[in-house]
C-alpha cells in the first residue's frame, strides 16, 4: 500500500474518494430491472380486472404475465446478480493461491476482482478492447482513447473500492491477438467474454489463451448458458445468439490444446477448468 505521506494533494484527494466508493460493475439497469416494466403494470391491471370482475380468462392471463415477469426479475436480480461480486465457480482454480493471471475480456473488472479477492497471492492483467462491445455493455463516449481511459478508470475504481488495485495492470487489447509473449501467464480466466465472439474469433481466442499460458497453466472459462433460468426469464427474445452446450465448448478447448479437468453449471452459466497440455 502506498503511504499517505508520500502522496501529493491531488493523489490523496483521489485516494480518499476511492476508499469510500463502492464496487459498481455498471451492467445496464434495463437488463436487471427491465422485467419490472412489465411486472408493475401487469400487477396493477390484474388488480383492476379482479376488482371490476372482468372475464376470468383475462384475469388469468394478466396474473400469468405478472407472475412470469416478477419471477424473471427475481432470477436476474438475485439468481444471476450480474452487478454483484462473482465467487470463483471452482475452488480448484489456482489452488496454490498465487501466480500471474490474464483476464481476457475484463469489462468493468468483475472477473478480475473474482480472482484477486479469492487468490490473494495473484497479480492480474485485465485485458479488454474497450471498443464497441465494451460500450454496449458498460457505456462510454468520445474517441477510442477516451473510452479506453473511461474503461481503465472504471476497473481501477472497482478494484480500489475492494482494496486490491495494487495487483492489477490494465491492458487494452484484443483476445484474438494477444499482445504478450508465449508462456507469459500461470493462468488465464475469461468470463462471459469469449462467447461474444464469432465462431472464428472463439477459436482464435482459445488458441491465444493456450499460447500465452506456461506449460500446464490453468484456464478458467466461464460462459453464458442457455439453461432453464435463461429460457424462462428471456423466453423467445434471443438476447445472446452464440450460446453453445458444454460438449461443444469442451471440443473447442480440446482442439486448442487443453485438457478439461472440471466443468459445471451455475444459473445461466457454464464453467470449464482446463490445463494446457
Ligand atoms: C459481458 S462483458 C464481461 C466482463 C467481465 N469479464 C465480467 O465477467 O463481468 C464482455 C467483455 O468482453 C470484451 N470483449 C469482447 N470482445 C473482445 C475481444 N476480442 N478482446 C478483448 N475483449 C473483448 C467486451 O469489451 C466486454 O467488456
CA distance 71 to 14: 41
Cβ of residue 208 lying under 6 Å from some atom of ligand 1: no
Burial of 221 (0-12, 13-18, 19+ CB in 10 A): buried
**Atom of ligand 1 at shortest range from CA of 134:** 25
Q: In this predicted structure, what is the pLDDT of residue 137?
A: 93
**Helices 144-161 and 9-20, interaxial angle, to 10°?**
70
Cβ of residue 244 lying under 6 Å from some atom of ligand 1: no
Cβ of residue 133 lying under 6 Å from some atom of ligand 1: yes
Predicted confidence (pLDDT) per residue in 92-135, tens digit: 999 999 999 999 999 999 999 999 999 999 999 999 999 999 99
For residue 24, report the distance from its CA to the centre of ligand 1, in Å: 16
Domain ranges in the chain are 29-80, 98-276
From 2.60.40.10, 1.10.10.10, 3.40.50.150, 3.40.50.300, which CATH number describes the 98-276 domain? 3.40.50.150
For residue 72, report the distance from its CA to the centre of ligand 1, in Å: 25
Predicted confidence (pLDDT) per residue in 176-214, tens digit: 999 999 999 999 999 999 999 999 999 999 999 999 999
CA distance 60 to 87: 39
* Torsion 9-10-14-17 (CA) sign: positive
Give percent of the chain with pLDDT exceeding 70: 90
CA distance 264 to 271: 5
Beta-ladder partners of 264: 271
Rounded to the nearest 5 percent, the helix, strand and coil shares of the chain are: 50, 20, 30
CA distance 276 to 102: 14
- How confident is the prediction for the chain on average, in pLDDT? 89
Cβ of residue 110 lying under 6 Å from some atom of ligand 1: yes
Cβ of residue 193 lying under 6 Å from some atom of ligand 1: yes
Residue the block writes with cell 471498443: 131
For residue 69, report the distance from its CA to the centre of ligand 1, in Å: 28
Residue nearest to ligand 1 atom 13, measured at CA:
105
CA-based angle 186:162:24, to the nearest 5?
Answer: 105
Amino acid at each position: 500500500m502506498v503511504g499517505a505521506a508520500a502522496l501529493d494533494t491531488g493523489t490523496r484527494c483521489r485516494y480518499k474518494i476511492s476508499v469510500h466508493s463502492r464496487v459498481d460493475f455498471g451492467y445496464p439497469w434495463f437488463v436487471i430491472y427491465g422485467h419490472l416494466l412489465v411486472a408493475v403494470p401487469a400487477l396493477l391491471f390484474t388488480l383492476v380486472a379482479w376488482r371490476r370482475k372482468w372475464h376470468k380468462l383475462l384475469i388469468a392471463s394478466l396474473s400469468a404475465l405478472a407472475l412470469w415477469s416478477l419471477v424473471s426479475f427475481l432470477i436476474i436480480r438475485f439468481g444471476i446478480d450480474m452487478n454483484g461480486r462473482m465467487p470463483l465457480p471452482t475452488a480448484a482454480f489456482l489452488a496454490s493461491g498465487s501466480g500471474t493471471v490474464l483476464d481476457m475480456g475484463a469489462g468493468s473488472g468483475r472477473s478480475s476482482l473474482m480472482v484477486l479477492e479469492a487468490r490473494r497471492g495473484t497479480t492480474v492483467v485485465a485485458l479488454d478492447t474497450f471498443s464497441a462491445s465494451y460500450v454496449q455493455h458498460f457505456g462510454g463516449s468520445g474517441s477510442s482513447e477516451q473510452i479506453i481511459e473511461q474503461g481503465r478508470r472504471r476497473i481501477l475504481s472497482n478494484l480500489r473500492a475492494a482494496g486490491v488495485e495494487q495487483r492489477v495492470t490494465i491492458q487494452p487489447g484484443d483476445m484474438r491477438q494477444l499482445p504478450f509473449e508465449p508462456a507469459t501467464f500461470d493462468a488465464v480466466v475469461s468470463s462471459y467474454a469469449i462467447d461474444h465472439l464469432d465462431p472464428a474469433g472463439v477459436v482464435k481466442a482459445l488458441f491465444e489463451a493456450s499460447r500465452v499460458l506456461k506449460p500446464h497453466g490453468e484456464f478458467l472459462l466461464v460462459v453464458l448458458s442457455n439453461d432453464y433460468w435463461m429460457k424462462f426469464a428471456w423466453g423467445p427474445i434471443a438476447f445472446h445468439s452464440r450460446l453453445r452446450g458444454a460438449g461443444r465448448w469442451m471440443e473447442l478447448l480440446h482442439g486448442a490444446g487443453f485438457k478439461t479437468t472440471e466443468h459445471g453449471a451455475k444459473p445461466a452459466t457454464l464453467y470449464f477448468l482446463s490445463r494446457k497440455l
